[in-house]
Chains A and B, each alone.
Chain A
Amino acid sequence: MPSRSRPVTDPARARCWERLAQWMYIVPAAAYLLLFFGYPIAKNIVMSFQQYTITTFYTGAAPFVGLQNYSKILASDLFSKALLTTVLFTAGSIVGQFALGLAFALFFQRRFPLNGVLRSLLLLPWLLPLVVSGTAWRWMLDPDTGVVNAALRALRLSSSGIPWLTGTSQALVSVILINIWVGIPFNTAILYGGLQDIPRHLYEAAKLDGAGPLASFRHVTWPLLRPVVSVVLVLGVVYTVKVLDIILVVTGGGPAGATETLATQSYELSFQQFEFGRGAAMSNVLIVISLAFAIVYLRANRRARNV
């Protein structure tokens, strides 16, 4: 460009160029956000107010139906059931992932041989594609031929085996257990990082004051780990609320809709029943729930910083 080689002397022009340069830095990120986050969300919201069906794809005609999609999905008895399942699934997964993740993080804080190797092995569930681990779990939990029931039978813990995937209450427990297994690495990794940040000398001081392991956990570890804990929990909720792949692979939402969550409902509405308007409405409900937790997280964060 010719303008670049010319020395810029005019201060007004220099300011103008500077402002332009500032904008140029923002443009790529802003364009990316608008294109890949803004547009889909806006489109999803518009879609949820339209009667968007198979025909729409060809004719482009998507009549505006106001709140009809929302009233239809909220009034359906499937919604309250799916909402309850989502709450149980999320709560169960988070409690399990967090408790086990914290236990592992504390465990790996000690010095012992092979610590590093074991810690990296723990990341394995995170590295496997979810469809692969889901399929493997489906085989292992098969009521007739799965290794889990075979082991239970061999140990004489259960004579007939547990209907892991075919019982309506057991199936939900199964997908929660699998999701806990998937989520442990994430929780362990973040909490372990948080533990590393706690200054060693605080533990030594506590020890000098006569604090045992429990007391030093309560008065040193827990208070200093709290910011990390809140991050882990809120992110965990946001990730878990929308889990789809594990459930689709392992149970397909069954048996009898026992593992149907808002996320699988939304997927089914859009991609199996081709009711894209209602599917969009359902996923917006999901976004609102995630958003609520994100706001809780941001506020908690701000309060923590202000203290």
Chain B
Amino acid sequence: MISPARLPARRPAALLSGAVALALAVASCSGGSSDGSATSKVTSITALDYYTDEPEHSQWGEMLTACGKTAGVKVEQTSVPGASLLPKVLQQASSRTLPDLLMLDNPDLQQIAQTGALTPLEQYGIDSSGFAKGILSAGTYKGRLYGLAPYVSTIALFYNRDMLANAGVAVPRTWDELETAAARLTRPGRYGMAVDANPTFEGTWQFLPFLWSNGGDEKRLDTPQAAQALQLWVDLVKSGSMSKSVLNWTQADVHDQFVAGRTAMMINGPWRIPALNKDKNLHWGVAPIPVPRTGQTPVTPLGGEVWTVPQNAESRQEKAAQVLACLNSSPNQLALAEQHFTVPSRTAMASQYAEQVPSMAAFVKSVEAARARTSELGVKWPKAATGIYTAIQSALTGEQAPQEALRHAQQIATSD
């Protein structure tokens, strides 16, 4: 990427590699103790997250400040966009300037814990009882707990009530119903269904409910169960019920299509609810993701961010751990979940929440059966995830039949 001469407009690629190299250079010079002396009293700690959007950013800011007060420290919150969080953490890890309190997307935790940059939470006496099993497994690496999430989420089926009523279609519960409903809801200028099938981990995340609910498994991707799930998506595109553009859409694009009335149903997460509620003319509903056969429970991937305490001066770690415990206290879980339309990660809180906020009942139910992405493969998960989205892309473009695409996915997942 580094060429002797270049156009100003095309610099980002070269700059990027240069910047990384430079960061490394600076890192190697500035390494050492930058965490201040351990004996002096800690009055403020730093926190890093990816909540850049409003109102999320200030809601989290308030919660961190409030929890900081109980621990007697000021919390300085920094938010970076989701895609730059991990690169930022890597830079900080190499320069030993990690924040005192670090938020990570739950499937990334094990990879970061593997580096040794995080501290196990047991040493601070943090109570992890009563948490849902799925999120605990995502926060655990080699038997030790490194991260806790105040709330969890997952994805579900959002539908446009008016469009379904006009077409006389009931909310689909099974794959067959989904296919017929999507076909009947499709009109000129409108599709019946929308998903995110783009070549990123987000595409994989949206496909998992279909893969897992049908008995598919990331440990072995070349199975008939996985092929059937992929075939469902292929059929939806082939029949014209789903746009071929799903190949490029992000979850945000899918949301935009839904709000614009260009799709009658979509797969998306509860963090979209505030935006959906803004449009008074949009009457939407939410239901669990359809399952292969009647009566099955959908198995969806567990979303949510875990908070961790990176390696720093011990006195700072102690304070950070107190704030982390406060974020995860039962009342705060409930408050955060209500703010963000998510589900408290303590099971007792979750059921209390379902009674208080009935519109979230579909999510509370789905989250109970939800599974962490890293629960089986751990740090090998990214490889399998890459294999899965590669297969989705090959199958939806018609380059490969689902079975063949998944055989290839299995090769990617097991390559080293």
Interchain CB contact (< 8 A) of B3 among A238, A254, A274 = A238
Main secondary structure of the interface of B (DSSP, over half): helix
Interchain CB contact (< 8 A) of B115 among A54, A165, A253, A263 = A54
Q: Would you give the shortest CB distance from B250 to chain A, in whole angstroms?
A: 9
- Is B357 in the interface zone, CB < 8 Å from A? no
Per-residue contact bits, chain B 368-389, to A (CB 8 Å; 1 contact, 0 not) = 0000000000000010001000
Interchain CB contact (< 8 A) of B93 among A39, A57, A253, A263 = A57
A residues in contact with B12, CB < 8 Å: 130, 244-245
**Using a CB-CB cutoff of 8 Å, which residues 241-266 of chain B contact chain A?**
243-245, 247-248, 262
Per-residue contact bits, chain B 287-307, to A (CB 8 Å; 1 contact, 0 not) = 000000000000000000000
Of the candidates B1, B247, B393, the one having the most CB atoms from chain A within 10 angstroms of its own CB is: B1
Interchain CB contact (< 8 A) of B248 among A59, A129, A145, A165 = A165
**Using a CB-CB cutoff of 8 Å, which residues 259-304 of chain A contact chain B?**
263, 266-267, 270-274, 283, 286-287, 290, 294
- Is A126 in the interface zone, CB < 8 Å from B? yes
A residues contacting the other copy or chain, number (CB 8 A): 56
Q: Is the CB of A126 within 8 A of B3?
A: no
- Is B170 in the interface zone, CB < 8 Å from A? no
- Is B35 in the interface zone, CB < 8 Å from A? no
**Using a CB-CB cutoff of 8 Å, which residues 224-257 of chain A contact chain B?**
235, 238-239, 242-245, 251-257
Q: Which partner residue on chain B sits nearest A186 by CB separation?
A: B7
Per-residue contact bits, chain A 51-85, to B (CB 8 Å; 1 contact, 0 not) = 00011011110000000000000000000000000
Q: Which partner residue on chain A sits nearest B22 by CB separation?
A: A40
Q: Is the CB of B21 within 8 A of A39?
A: yes
A residues in contact with B3, CB < 8 Å: 238-239, 242, 287, 290, 294
Q: Is the CB of A43 within 8 A of B24?
A: yes
- Is B42 in the interface zone, CB < 8 Å from A? no
Q: Is the CB of A36 within 8 A of B1?
A: no
- Is B200 in the interface zone, CB < 8 Å from A? yes
Main secondary structure of the interface of A (DSSP, over half): helix
Q: Would you give the shortest CB distance from A84 to chain B, in whole angstroms?
A: 15
Complex CA–CA separation, A39 to B24 (angstroms): 11
Q: Would you give the shortest CB distance from B116 to chain A, in whole angstroms?
A: 6
B residues in contact with A287, CB < 8 Å: 1-3
A255-B6 contact in complex given A39-B25, A142-B245, C-beta closer than 8 Å: no
Q: Is the CB of B244 within 8 A of A166?
A: yes
A254-B198 contact in complex given A242-B10, A245-B12, C-beta closer than 8 Å: yes
Interchain CB contact (< 8 A) of A58 among B17, B87, B94, B247 = B94
Q: Which partner residue on chain B sits nearest A37 by CB separation?
A: B2
Q: Is the CB of B21 within 8 A of A43?
A: yes
- Is A221 in the interface zone, CB < 8 Å from B? no
Interchain CB contact (< 8 A) of A57 among B1, B13, B115 = B115
Of the candidates A245, A254, A271, the one having the most CB atoms from chain B within 10 angstroms of its own CB is: A254
Q: Is the CB of A251 within 8 A of B2?
A: no
- Is A216 in the interface zone, CB < 8 Å from B? no
Q: Which partner residue on chain B sits nearest A60 by CB separation?
A: B94
Complex CA–CA separation, A80 to B121 (angstroms): 46
Complex CA–CA separation, A271 to B84 (angstroms): 9
B residues in contact with A55, CB < 8 Å: 114-116
Q: Is the CB of B1 within 8 A of A58?
A: no
Q: Would you give the shortest CB distance from A306 to chain B, in whole angstroms?
A: 22
Per-residue contact bits, chain B 193-222, to A (CB 8 Å; 1 contact, 0 not) = 000001110000000000000000000000
Having A245-B10, A287-B2, one finds 17 other A-B pairs with CB under 8 Å, namely A39-B21, A40-B2, A54-B111, A58-B116, A165-B245, A165-B248, A166-B245, A168-B399, A255-B248, A255-B396, A256-B199, A257-B390, A258-B397, A266-B1, A274-B86, A283-B2, A294-B4
Please, could you name 23 A-B residue pairs with CB atoms under 8 Å apart, sorted by A?
A: A54-B111, A54-B115, A130-B9, A143-B243, A144-B243, A163-B244, A168-B397, A238-B3, A243-B10, A244-B13, A254-B199, A254-B248, A255-B393, A256-B199, A257-B199, A257-B390, A258-B397, A266-B1, A272-B200, A274-B86, A274-B111, A283-B2, A290-B4
The 6 closest A-B pairs by CB, nearest first: A40-B21, A58-B115, A244-B13, A256-B393, A166-B244, A58-B93
User: Interface on A for B, CB 8 Å cutoff?
Assistant: 36-37, 39-41, 43-44, 54-55, 57-60, 126, 129-130, 138, 142-145, 163, 165-168, 182, 186, 235, 238-239, 242-245, 251-258, 263, 266-267, 270-274, 283, 286-287, 290, 294
